Amino acid sequence: MDKVIKALEKNGFKASIFKNAQDAKEKLLSEISTDESVGIGGSMTILDMGVYEDLVERGNATYWHWKAEDKKAALENATTTDIYLTSSNAVTEDGKLVNKDGTGNRVASMIFGHKKVFVVVGRNKICKDVDGAFERIETIAAPLNAKRLNLTTPCVYTGVCSDCDSKDRICKAETILSKNPNGTSIHVYIIDEDMGY
């Protein structure tokens, strides 16, 4: 993990290691002021950390379509918040963030529109390189996400990607953040636990 942290920093990202999700959550909450608005992308990691509930309880204006009755409004409001929280489908050993998105809200917000972006990843998301990252997405992240969403993509049944033309396809925007984009401060939290998928 030290190697990944150094590589992320070389690529212009901020990067930190935490021994568990609780430590990461405490640090995350300390880095967000109560008067800052927060948007959240779809993420099992963020869900399992319980950070949404803490933010709401202490009064942060927080927009997450996974928790909102009006999902469309939450998605729109989350595009312009001060802070954005998400995970990444994969982090490479040479410090790149690799993702595939269906809607594109998550990857768009990682790149532009927020003062600070926090990307929280478990150690299970670390891959050797970009090819390994896409392999991870196509054999683990996307099939499990499609299954969670009760979709009928081929990967739900086979466990591997067939570059499908399914109406339910969730892989529509692929991004590789090779360096920290201009105008956005991305801080990657790596947790020494398996989290999300």
Name which of 38 and 161 has its Cβ closer to ligand SF4: 161
* Distance of alpha carbon 78 from alpha carbon 81, whole angstroms: 6
When asked if residue 171 is in the footprint of ligand SF4 (CB under 6 A), the reply is yes
**Number of residues near ligand SF4 (by CB under 6 A):** 15
Among 164, 178, 181, 184, binds ligand SF4 (CB under 6 A): 164
- Comparison of 67 and 169: residue with beta carbon closer to ligand SF4: 169
Taking the least distance from each CB to ligand SF4, the nearer of 95 and 143 is 143
**Residue 155 sits in the site that holds ligand SF4 (CB under 6 A):** yes
Q: How far apart are CA 106 and CA 122, in angstroms?
A: 18
Do residues 99 and 133 touch, judged by C-beta distance below 8 A? no
Listed ranges 28-36, 128-136, 146-154, 179-187: which one lies at the site for ligand SF4 (CB under 6 A): 146-154
Short-list 137, 27, 113, 18, CA closest to 63: 113
**CA neighbor of 101 nearest in space, from 42, 163, 41, 171:** 171
Q: Indicate whether 147 belongs to the interface with ligand SF4 (CB under 6 A).
A: no
Please give the single-letter amino acid code of residue 8: L
Neighbours of 194 (CB within 10 A): 11
- Which residues sit at the interface with ligand SF4, rule CB under 6 A? 138, 142-143, 146, 153-155, 161-164, 166, 169-171
